[in-house]
Amino acid sequence: MSAKKANLSGELKKYFGFSTFKGQQEQIIENLLSGKDVFVLMPTGGGKSLCYQLPALISEGTAIVVSPLIALMKNQVDAVNGLSSDDGVAHVLNSSLNKTQTKQVFDDIKGGKTKLLYVAPESLIKDDYLEFLKDVKISFVAIDEAHCISEWGHDFRPEYRNLKSIIDKIADVPVIALTATATPKVQDDIQKTLGMSDALVFKESFNRPNLYYEVRPKVNVDKEIVKFINQHKGKSGIIYCLSRRKVEEFAQLLQVNGINALPYHAGLDQKVRVANQDKFLMEEVDVIVATIAFGMGIDKPDVRFVIHYDFPKSLESYYQETGRAGRDGGEGHCLAFYDPKDIEKLEKFLAQKPVSEREIGLQLLNEVVGYAETSMSRRQYILYYFGENFDPVKGDGAEMCDNSSNPPKLKDAKADLKKVLEL
């Protein structure tokens, strides 16, 4: 073992208290520290944050971490600051800071205190930030949730598209891009857009063997969900609905039925939203009813179920949203309610969009319908979509879906899937 390796384990223990690296974390960190661009594809809960947090903590200068959501950044900054006794090891830079606060951040960076600076891409383009960052020592740039760059991803953010040229203006440093997305199309798009075609790629399996996948027809859905929750009393769960209105209505319905539930969507007052999220994290509330605005990067290890009241718009999103269940490796039940009429509605909605967006949207819908209607192993279906082969009989978690534990009449599902994916 090289001295450096031994040293990395020591730093891991010192800062995070962990004795071993997870998956390929160590190789990823070594390569980044040696100056290479790296691209990390690892499922949710795989431990991506540590791949940039640890090297940032032990490098000279400040690492810029690009992240799409304020809530997400806040979460991480608190976590990182909790790792060290010094204040200001991690900061967020955005327009919500007043002059004094901004100056504090700048001073901490100049003084060499700040190892991680979290910014949203739309902040990064601000001239005064850019000018400042050009003149300080940057260790590397991390782009978290890198799938936001791609229109094929489940969370496209136009501000992500210009990152490459902005980073080039700030510093010539290694870049680490990370995502829990693995469709070959999105991967390709990310690498091209970031100019990372030569990056070292680290891809881990996206199989989540402890998650149980189930699809039910959307009939008596309210009753079914209430019953389900009552069978999982006291457990944490997330229920996803498509519209804000539905979120509010359904959270109320659950409350009326004696279930400890709260709503979460982007239309709620910021304070209420944060309070509801915190209550969920602190286990003052069992169930959160939410739009897809909820959950990205939220690290609650013991979410026991993720229910889709409405079917997701893509298999990608479905994988991401269900990925929030069972992060501690324990039980995670992923239940989705499917009604072809919902899909028709989504198609109608897409019909009003510009052509390119419509075409992408329709293909993604096709794929997710394929998932809903398949009679093959759902795990196999999802992993095939991510470019992975899965043995539906012997694979890890093979028995963990409705079709496998209670197989419907066989039809040629594989051929169906191929048809859908090759559209």
Residues that bind Mg ion (CB under 5 A): 48
CA 100 to chain centre: 33
Residue 50 lies near ligand ADP (rule: CB under 6 A): yes
DSSP lists the bridge partners of residue 118 as: 65, 92
Taking CB under 6 A as the criterion, the residue among 24, 45, 142, 251 binding ligand ADP is 45
Kindly tell me the sign of the dihedral angle through the C-alpha atoms of 275, 280, 286, 289: positive
Task: Say if CB 178 and CB 42 are below 8 A apart.
Answer: yes
Piece in contact with ligand ADP (CB under 6 A), picked from 15-23, 199-207, 309-317, 355-363 = 15-23
236 is a contact residue toward ligand ADP (CB under 6 A): no
What are the DSSP calls for 103-157, one per residue? Answer: HHHHHHHHTT--SEEEE-HHHHT-HHHHHHHHTS-EEEEEETTGGGG-TTSSS--
Nearest distance from C-beta of residue 46 to Mg ion, angstroms:
8
Q: Strand (E) positions, 259-370?
A: 261-264, 287-290, 303-308, 332-338
Among ligand ADP, Mg ion, none, the one that 299 touches (CB under a kind-dependent 5 to 8 A) is ligand ADP
**Cα–Cα distance, 206 to 390 (Å, whole number):** 10
Minimum distance of ligand ADP from residue 6's CB (angstroms): 16
Q: Does 202 bind ligand ADP (CB under 6 A)?
A: no
User: Which partner, Mg ion, ligand ADP, none, binds residue 22 by CB below 5 to 8 Å per kind?
Assistant: ligand ADP
With contacts defined by CB under 6 A, name the span among 21-29, 63-71, 151-159, 377-385 that binds ligand ADP.
21-29
Looking at beta carbons only, is 48 or 91 nearer to Mg ion?
48
Instruction: Note whether 318 binds ligand ADP by CB under 6 A.
Output: no
Cβ-proximal residues to 381 (8 Å cutoff; 6+ apart), any chain:
370, 371, 374, 413, 417
The stretch near ligand ADP (CB under 6 A) out of 43-51, 80-88, 221-229, 366-374 is 43-51
> How many residues lie near ligand ADP (CB under 6 A)?
14
Q: Residue 331's beta-bridge partner residues?
A: none
DSSP 33-71: HTT--EEEE--TTS-HHHHHHHHHHHSSSEEEEE-S-HH
Contact 356, 275 (CB under 8 A): no
- Furthest-apart CA atoms within the chain: distance in Å: 67
**Residue 14 CB partners (closer than 8 Å, separation 6+):** none
Task: Between 44 and 114, name the residue whose CB sits nearer to Mg ion.
Answer: 44
* Helix ranges, 260-339 (H): 270-281, 315-322
Residue 39 interacts with ligand ADP (CB under 6 A): yes or no: no
**Which entry of ligand ADP, Mg ion, none binds 45, CB below 5 to 8 A by partner kind?**
ligand ADP
Q: Judged by CB under 6 A, does residue 57 bind ligand ADP?
A: no
Q: Which of 24, 31, 49, 317 binds ligand ADP (CB under 6 A)?
A: 49
Nearer to ligand ADP, 46 or 361 (CB): 46
Q: How far is the CB of 47 from ligand ADP (least distance, A)?
A: 3
305 binds ligand ADP (CB under 6 A): no
Report the distance separating Cα 135 and Cα 100, nearest Å: 20
What's the closest the beta carbon of residue 115 comes to ligand ADP, in angstroms? 16
Residue 50 C-beta: closest distance to ligand ADP, Å:
4
Q: Which of 48, 154, 208, 379 binds ligand ADP (CB under 6 A)?
A: 48
106 lies in the binding site for ligand ADP (CB under 6 A) = no
Give the contact letters, 167-186, x = binds to ligand ADP (CB under 6 A), - = no. -------------x------
Q: Which is nearer to Mg ion, 75 or 377 (CB)?
A: 75
Determine if 299 is a binding residue for ligand ADP (CB under 6 A).
yes
Under the criterion CB under 6 A, does residue 146 sit at the interface with ligand ADP? no
Shortest-Cβ-distance residue relative to Mg ion: 48
C-alpha distances in Å from residue 196, one per residue of 199, 329, 344, 355: 5, 33, 38, 28
Q: Which is nearer to ligand ADP, 253 or 281 (CB)?
A: 281
Question: Do the beta carbons of residue 26 and residue 5 sit within 8 Å?
Answer: yes
Do residues 164 and 195 make contact, with C-beta atoms less than 8 angstroms apart?
Answer: yes
- Those residues whose C-beta lies under 8 Å from the C-beta of residue 218, and which sit 6 or more positions away, are 337, 338, 339, 342
Nearer to Mg ion, 73 or 382 (CB): 73
The contact set with ligand ADP (CB under 6 A) reads 18, 21-22, 25, 42, 44-50, 180, 299
